Chains A and B, each alone.
Chain A
Amino acid sequence: MDALNPQLGNGTYRIEADQVCVDYNGTVALFDASLRLKGGCICGLVGMNGAGKSTFFKALMGFVRPSRGNIRINGLEVHKAQRDQAVAYVPQNEGIDCSFPVRVWDVVMMGRYGSMNLLRIPRESDRKAVWHALERVELIEYRKRPIGELSGGQRKRAFLARAIAQRASVLLLDEPFSGVDVRTEKLMSELFIQFKNEGRTILISTHDLSHVRDFCDLVVLINKTVLAYGETSKIFTTENLTMTFGGMPPDLLSGQTPPEEFST
């Protein structure tokens, strides 16, 4: 079991978003979103395309600066938390250049870069961390394969291994269940529970409700703002879901919604 980097003090949240607003050149992408997640939970982030899921992720990773509000990770500002290697992002399979000349081993080693010196020369401890991470996702025998030779599910596991090697305490996963095989799905669900027991917080962005019901103990419903969040069994009501998937009063924010909201 690898030690988390960093440990969480009492009373500190893993993720703390306080009335976060994000707008792109005047278009509101996220409004007044507040959320508090403790260490050791699996949380689904549910909303339509264009509802602000990826904007929320970007804000958590420090890619967009909130125009208002405040985000803290492990009690630290996002950029400081990043330097602690606290946040790992597991991309969608579509977001990866599969023909890039890297092996599975190299990809997982990228999780260690932030802890290495400038030249990124792996030490023994880095190699051990990579080996261990590959074992956990059951890809150790694939370590010398080019990333392009893996199946969708295996590739997903490789990127999960990278997050493990990074020893991140907050894992952001973008549509982790799309295009994965049954074995990967089973393994991921086991890993998520292990991560949870290790005190990590896992935030899963998805519009796949059945997986949220099966895997997540918490759920955040999002449509330009956090509509509701809490235990999955309590939040997953017809009323809430209707609100999330289209039933939002249009005048709640600016009276208009971006066109991409209707594209899917």
Chain B
Amino acid sequence: MIHIFTSITPASWLIEPLSHDFMRRALMVSALVGAVCGLLSCFMTLKGWALMGDAVSHAVMPGVVVAYALGLPFSIGAFVFGVGSVALIGFIKQKSRVKEDTVIGLVFTGFFALGLVLVSKIKSNIDLMHILFGSPLGTSLSDIHQTITISAIVVITLLIFRRDLMLYCFDPTHARSIGINTGLLHYLLLSMLSLAAVAGLQTVGIILVVSMLITPGATAYLLTDRFDRMNILAVTSSAISSIVGVYISYWSDIETGGSIVLVQTLIFLLAFLFAPRYGILKLQNSINP
């Protein structure tokens, strides 16, 4: 691919990859998954669920493997194990004296290890590398259908319950005192997390999916004081990073998941430095005017 570099213009840099079927699919799936995870990441960062996101995204692994083995859509397996891991975390925390972050770490690594063992033991055509690191460039048509379905469920649910979930993150006591079922919201958010983790698995893989679930939210959080704008910024930055990541991966032949996450991280760093109100450079200005 090196020979191309001499002759590409910005336009051809953008257009040329679109002539490939697999690239059109990859870009579409990545942008969609990016947008979905971006929206969810607002709630994850505001609720302080980064570690929970990491846990759930790893814990879905055995679910995906079992679903593959049984011929079920892997979203179902992921859903069961994702929510199951959280229920188990809650149960162990309640019944033992072990601290919560320890329990979270313990449960998700246990589930993840179970997934690894299952992959090696169950005869199937699951590509371990595909699950661990994602492969948007190798997305099949059935994967796309599943990703679109998952994305639609997550987005519609989040949009319907957006205000309630925001209130739940901000002030669960008030939410309960006005008769909102916060237990339901808790599990709703967890379910969406499990589903989004499966969607994210398509593009960046299990190991990096937590980045999709927190970085866009963290970036947007630095840029605004309005929840609505935070949603829009997170979705936009996440979708754009996914698209840019896929392009960079195509042109420079680097691993796609890593490329997407690096772009996201870069955007976060830019916000961290230059955000109008909360960037560190701005802060220094206001101290020494």
Contact = CB atoms under 8 A, between A and B. Distances in A.
Interface of A: 61-63, 79, 82-83, 85, 87-89, 91, 95-97, 100-103, 106, 110-111, 113-114, 118-120, 146, 148, 162, 166
8 contacts: A63-B176, A88-B177, A89-B177, A91-B171, A95-B173, A106-B227, A113-B167, A148-B225
Interface in B81-140: none
B40 interface: no
A103 B226 contact: yes
Contacts of A113: 163-164, 167, 175, 178, 180
Given A91-B173, A101-B230, A103-B226, A114 B179 contact: yes
Nearest to A172: B177
Q: Would you list the 4 A-B pairs with minimal beta carbon distance, nearest first?
A: A114-B178, A120-B163, A146-B225, A82-B179
A61 B177 contact: yes
Contact of A101 (B177, B178, B179, B221): B221
B226 A82 contact: no
A163 B197 CA distance: 38
Given A102-B226, A110-B170, 17 more contacts: A61-B173, A82-B176, A83-B179, A89-B177, A91-B173, A97-B46, A100-B46, A100-B170, A101-B225, A101-B227, A101-B229, A101-B230, A102-B225, A102-B227, A110-B167, A110-B171, A120-B164
Nearest to A146: B225
B174 interface: yes
A120 B185 CA distance: 15
B224 interface: yes
Nearest to B163: A120
A118 B184 CA distance: 14
Contacts of B46: 97, 100-101
B11 interface: no
Among the interface residues B160, B170, B221, B227, which one has the most CB atoms of the partner chain A within 10 A?
Answer: B170
Interface string B212-231: 00000000010011110110
| Majority secondary structure of chain B interface residues (helix, strand, loop or mixed) | helix
Contact of A97 (B160, B170, B227): B170
Contacts of B180: 113-114
B225 to A, nearest CB: 4
B170 A102 contact: yes
Interface in B211-263: 221, 224-227, 229-230
Contact of B174 (A103, A106, A146, A162): A162
B207 to A, nearest CB: 29
Contacts of B225: 101-103, 146, 148
A189 B283 CA distance: 38
Contacts of B167: 110, 113
Contacts of B170: 97, 100, 102, 110
B59 interface: no
A119 B167 CA distance: 13
Interface string B144-163: 00000000000000001001
Nearest to A102: B227
A216 B179 CA distance: 28
A96 B171 contact: yes
A191 to B, nearest CB: 19
A63 to B, nearest CB: 6
Nearest to B169: A100
A87 B177 contact: yes
B171 A101 contact: no
Given A113-B178, A113-B180, A119 B173 contact: no
B280 to A, nearest CB: 16
A106 B228 CA distance: 11
Contacts of A146: 225-226
Contacts of A63: 173, 176
Given A91-B173, A102-B170, A82 B164 contact: no
A119 B158 CA distance: 11
A110 B227 CA distance: 13
Contacts of B171: 91, 96, 110
Given A110-B167, A113-B164, A79 B224 contact: no
